[in-house]
Amino acid sequence: MQELTPETITGAVLDQMATTSDRRMKEVMAAAVRHLHDFAREVNLTPGEWIKGIEFMTLVGKTCTPARQEFILLSDTLGLSALVNGLHDKTAIEEGTHTSLLGPFYREASPTLAPGSQIARHVKPGTECVLYGKITDVHGKPLAGATVSVWQTSADGLYDIQEDATTTDYRGVFTTDANGLFTIRTVKPRGYSIPMNGPVGSMVRAQGRHGMRPAHIHFLVGAPGYRELVTALYLRDDPHLSDDVVFGSSDDLAVDIVPDDPSCPIPGVPSIRFDLRLSREGEADKTSGRVGSDPSAILKEKAAAS
């Protein structure tokens, strides 16, 4: 038998995994092992550091609940989620509005609302704003009947489930009119800290980073025959626009709140205009999935599979 050394062990593992019948799994796992071994060799990983890593990942798993997905938060803070979104955008058959993070506060159960509805239950004075825009194809053709799901924080920077786990607030599903337009009443979102009371928060603090996300509003947009778009708008004047802790913000998704936009469908209220362009759906889009999930759906699927 060949003696295994730090130089030869990678080849031995790859040889043993060569019988994997699923071709894509074989490719992904082989690359993962190569990079993992290279990483251990590069930093000369010690046994103490190895166990610290195992303890950290164990804690990340234990922190996951139907309302919290610490592994996704880890992926987000390491820039992996934004990287996979960027790779996903490159596979679109047309270049539409770019993807941004779905985040952990998306909920599949969200109320369907009439055009112009207010998504906040209580609107504090001075915080109201109108969010409107057009959903089009990449050439600017309006898409009637597109589904526009939005969710955001209150004007205090908290999502509904952080304030009260039983109430649905600051979220809704709208449908575009014959001209591809959507109109939503809401409140100005505020920048906020990602959940810092778990292992990912400890990591972020140990790295001397702040945990802040710039103020934003999430979008999940769908229309038959078009690629699903998960994205967000970001308020341009937020001090964390260029150092988002989860690398989701970018200049092309930045918008202003305009005090008196004459084109706003609801006059006299500060407004945000955000137009989104959808790529036609390609064959690969039917199975590519999305970066992010309602945390309860992950646990539900797991329970059903076991």
Where on the chain is the footprint of ligand BEZ (CB under 6 A)?
Answer: 73, 76, 101, 103-105, 194, 213, 246
Which of ligand BEZ, Fe ion, none has residue 101 at its interface (CB below 5 to 8 Å by kind)? ligand BEZ
Select 105 or 182, whichever has its Cβ closest to Fe ion. 105
Q: Which of residues 75 and 271 has its CB atom nearest to ligand BEZ in the complex?
A: 75
Residue 194: CB minimum distance to ligand BEZ, A: 4
Q: Considering beta carbons, is residue 76 or 160 the nearer one to ligand BEZ? A: 76
Report DSSP letters for 215-239, one per residue. SEEEEEEE-TTB--EEEEEEETT-T
Q: How far apart are CA 138 and CA 120, in angstroms?
A: 31
Strands (E), 22-155: 128-137, 147-152
The 3-class secondary structure across 87-123, one letter per residue, is: HHHHCCCCCCCCCCCCCCCCCCCCCECCCCCECCCCC
Dist CA 288 CA 24 (whole Å)? 13
Rounded to 5°, angle at Cα 169 from 237 and 259:
35
Number of Cβ within a 10 Å radius of residue 120: 20
What whole-number distance in Å separates Cα of residue 145 and Cα of residue 174? 9
The contact pattern for Fe ion, residues 115-134, with x = CB under 5 A and - = no contact, is: --------------------
The CA distance from 147 to 137, in Å, is 14
- Residue selected from 96, 103, 248, 295 as contacting Fe ion according to rule CB under 5 A: 103
Q: Does 214 bind Fe ion (CB under 5 A)?
A: no
Stretch that binds Fe ion, among 48-56, 85-93, 102-110, 178-186 (CB under 5 A): 102-110
Measured from the CB atom, the residue of 136 and 152 that comes closer to ligand BEZ is: 152
Report, in Å, the least distance between residue 244 CB and ligand BEZ: 9
Nearer to ligand BEZ, 96 or 292 (CB): 292
The footprint of Fe ion (CB under 5 A) covers 103
